């Protein structure tokens, strides 16, 4: 199933609506209070406004990922390298665009990664472990230093959906292009509802304070 630019624009619009709805729902959950409310209110210099923007952008990214995957799954389209490029590539491109516009660093990281470049670093691994222990934990922010720059790092869980299983289900059922393109692949054997990985957004202090 190939998507035209107008179709992709429509999917992005739908994803944005879902993200906005999700933020309204999430605002009533403990993680949202901890991220942009209680935690920010009790720590000097906590990045309420900037972090709230990062939360909103990540929700839109996740909604785009989910909407694209469900669109292809509903159409009964086989998982090929072309499908992969039309589901995953737009999310990556959007993340790059958001990062460039805001001066952030954005990545999708996982313990069981497909590309070694997406492996968890020590800080992300600690948050990932906490999310494994607490399925209700949707996100967390920490003060961090990256490449010599201080700032804030926001993590948001990525949950496996049924539409993800065509590429992330049973090892033997992975598409041929995945097996060929990623010989060291670890991103399989998941079930719907599993913790797949995390979005990581680093907000440098130099950007936040402008």
Number of domains, the chain: 1
DSSP 139-197: EEEEEEEETTEEEEEEEEEEE--GGGHHHHS-GGGS-HHHHHH-TT----S--TT-EEE
Give the pLDDT score at 18. 43
Residue 200 lies in domain: 5-208
Taking the chain (210 residues) in runs of 10, the rounded mean pLDDT of each run is: 40 44 38 39 50 91 89 72 79 94 96 96 97 94 92 95 92 92 96 97 82
Give the pLDDT score at 43. 38
Q: What is the pTM of this model?
A: 0.77
Give the pLDDT score at 207. 79
């Amino acid at each position: 199933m190939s998507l035209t630019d107008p179709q992709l624009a429509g999917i992005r619009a739908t994803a944005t609506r879902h993200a906005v709805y999700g933020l309204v729902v999430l605002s009533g959950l403990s993680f949202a209070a901890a991220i942009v409310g209680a935690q920010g209110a009790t720590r000097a210099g906590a990045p309420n406004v900037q972090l709230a923007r990062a939360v909103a952008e990540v929700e839109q990214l996740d909604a785009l990922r989910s909407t694209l995957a469900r669109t292809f799954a509903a159409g009964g389209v086989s998982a090929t390298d072309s499908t992969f490029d039309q589901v995953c590539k737009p999310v990556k491109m959007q993340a790059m665009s958001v990062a460039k516009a805001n001066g952030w660093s954005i990545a999708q990281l996982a313990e069981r990664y497909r590309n070694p470049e997406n492996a968890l670093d020590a800080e992300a691994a600690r948050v990932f472990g906490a999310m494994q222990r607490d399925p209700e934990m949707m996100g967390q922010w920490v003060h961090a230093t990256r490449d010599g720059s201080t700032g804030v790092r926001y993590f948001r869980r990525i949950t496996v959906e049924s539409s993800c299983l065509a590429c992330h289900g049973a090892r033997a059922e992975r598409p041929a292009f995945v097996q060929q393109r990623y010989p060291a692949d670890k991103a399989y054997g998941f079930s719907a509802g599993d913790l797949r990985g995390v979005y990581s957004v680093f907000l440098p202090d130099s950007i936040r304070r402008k």
